[in-house]
Amino acid sequence: MSPDPKHPLTNQIIRDEAQLRALIGSPTDLVCSKISDRLNAMTRLFVERSPFVCLATSDRAGHCDLSPRGDPVGFVRILDERTLLMPERPGNRIADSLRNILANPYIGLLFVVPGSTDTFRVNGRATLTTDAELLAPSAVEGKPPLLGILVDIDEAYTQCSKALLRSQLWDPQRHVAPASMPTGGQVMRAIHGEPFDAEQYDKERAERYRRRVGFY
């Protein structure tokens, strides 16, 4: 049993599911019935049309990580109705997701399709593979991935539109001007202090992106 939850800022804490259900209620039978253990002709469209996926993992101790994954539309390939393959592209080599999968195979995926307010969730078990024949169709710009994440589906279901409708995510009038957000260099300077050359960091990163260094 987990320890009695506490928080330094409040003593108004939900301590068990009975308290939670008394507050929010229970899902209807119809809602529960949408959860499947495989794709179907309709739900596979979310996978085939998504260029952006969030990948949730955790280590053996339950420490969580959420990683964005993006690529050309349909980059997560459907191998069969219960198996997906996500290519692993070059990154910063910290490899939080991959190290977590080695420790704990259970993962969650959230598929986002631009313009659609519904999203698609998959919960399952992940396996890392270096099978060159299996990975070859995932090549982009002539470069196949060296590594892929096989996902055996346990649960697959659509998520209703409320979150994206509340956020107005796809409304262009709500989009923030990129120049109003901190750059990567400015964030690094906030961490390392004023001597850090944020401008040079941003310039070098922009040049790498322009030349697509490390994209594939």
Question: pLDDT tens per residue, the chain (216 residues)?
Answer: 456 789 999 999 999 999 999 999 999 999 999 999 999 999 999 999 999 999 999 999 999 999 999 999 999 999 999 999 999 999 999 999 999 999 999 999 999 999 999 999 999 999 999 999 999 999 999 999 999 999 999 999 999 999 999 999 999 999 999 999 999 999 999 999 999 999 999 999 999 999 999 999
Residue 196 to residue 199: CA distance in whole angstroms: 9
Domain with CATH 2.30.110.10 in the chain: 17-167
- Token pair in block for residue 85: 């393959």
106 closest CA partner among 148, 62, 68, 58: 58
| CATH fold for the domain made of 17-167 | Pnp Oxidase; Chain A (2.30.110)
Sheet bearing 119-129, strands edge to edge? 64-70, 52-58, 106-112, 119-129, 147-159, 83-88, 77-80
SS3 123: strand
Q: What is the pLDDT of residue 19?
A: 96
In this prediction the pTM is 0.94
Q: What is the pLDDT of residue 4?
A: 77
147 closest CA partner among 83, 215, 90, 212: 90
Q: What is the pLDDT of residue 1?
A: 47
Residue 50 to residue 69: CA distance in whole angstroms: 10
